[in-house]
Amino acid sequence: MTTGLPNFFEYNLWANLRLLDFCEQLSDEQLDATMTGVFGSIREVLMHLFASEEGYAYSFTKTRPSSPLKEEDSFVGFEELRRRAQLSGKALIDIAKERDLGETFWLDGGVYECQAYIVALQAISHGVDHRSQIATLLAQQGIELPALDAWGYNDALHSKQ
């Protein structure tokens, strides 16, 4: 089996869905807690995370959902976030399998130049960063997030076999 960038996006989708499953069980108070140094509340971080992921997929496909997520919108709920995470996550996996990541992109209305692999790298690092922020918000409340790191992913892969 060949491994590569698609595996990173498979991990990213797994971690995002596991995060949503866990956060769905939290109380409103826990979801709305915030602290200095973190993007916002858990709800705000989740909206930002998945709005951004739709944007990364858009950079490649130039297609958006009929009503794209906007991080400033009201929280859309876990079912809708899960649906969108699956769509953008699967799109990024397919992109990693099929696209030339050496392609040049002009982002931000054509004023920002980068290679496609930079967008892919940003999508992965952005997810890790914000999942860590949610873990910090939860830790401050005495709540431990399940393992969302590579070791947790490996364990999940092996438990399916």
| Residues flagged as binding site for a divalent metal cation | 48, 126, 130
Closest CA to 102 of 113, 118, 116: 116
Residues making up the annotated binding site are 48, 126, 130
Helix %, strand %, coil % for the chain, to 5? 60, 5, 35
Query: What is the dihedral sign for C-alpha 12, 54, 21, 39?
Result: positive
Q: Residue 21, Cβ neighbours under 10 Å: how many?
A: 12
Q: Residue 2, Cβ neighbours under 10 Å: how many?
A: 5
Q: Residue 125 to residues 50, 119, 128: CA-CA distances in angstroms?
A: 13, 10, 5
Q: Residue 127 to residues 21, 28, 106, 144: CA-CA distances in angstroms?
A: 16, 23, 22, 18
